[in-house]
Copies of this chain bind each other. A is one copy, B any other.
Amino acid sequence: MASEIVELSAAEVEDFLSSQVIGRIGCHVDGLTYVVPIIYAYDGEAIYVYTIEGQKTRMMRANPRICFETDHYDGATGSWRSVIVQGRFEELDGEGAQRALGLLAARFAARRSGEGGERRQRASGRPTVAFRIEIDEATGRSVTR
């Protein structure tokens, strides 16, 4: 049974980042590593997130060097595709936060899921945080059989 692990090209990494909406952030402070799922939008330069205040935002403020990951596994074929980003947390407010919201709303409209995660998150009654991830390095790989 043949199997192949292939590094994605820069264009394939771009395409994959643009095609997904769910990712995970890995952050680290004082010996604790924390991985948490988020909904994101990618504008071709940075990753935008609008989320609820909590452990991840406290940790990213303390140590803005973070990892972002998104993947897709096809259970029928056993094929994987994933992109891993090394980047920096940058909190947004005012116009920046509005831009993040707009990108996420457009992303969800494009997917025709109709109602964005950001609406749900804004409705939670807990303080919200907008941020972007400045990308230092993005690599991807596919595993096919």
Please report A residues at the B interface, Cβ cutoff 8 Å.
1-5, 21-22, 24-28, 31-37, 39, 52, 65-69, 71, 73, 75-76, 78, 80, 82, 84, 86, 111, 113, 115-117, 119-121, 123-126, 143, 145
Contact = CB atoms under 8 A, between A and B. Distances in A.
B22 A73 contact: yes
Q: Most chain-B Cβ atoms within 10 A of its Cβ — which of A3, A52, A82? A: A3
A4 B2 CA distance: 46
Nearest to A144: B120
A120 B2 CA distance: 8
Q: Chain A interface mostly helix, strand, loop or mixed?
A: strand
Nearest to A118: B78
A82 B117 CA distance: 15
Counted per complex, copies of this chain come to: 2
A27 B33 contact: yes
B5 A113 contact: no
Given A33-B33, A82-B36, A84-B34, A26 B124 contact: no
A67 B33 contact: yes
Given A71-B22, A120-B1, A86 B35 contact: no
Given A37-B80, A84-B36, A69 B24 contact: yes
B33 A75 contact: no
A78 B26 contact: no
A32 to B, nearest CB: 7
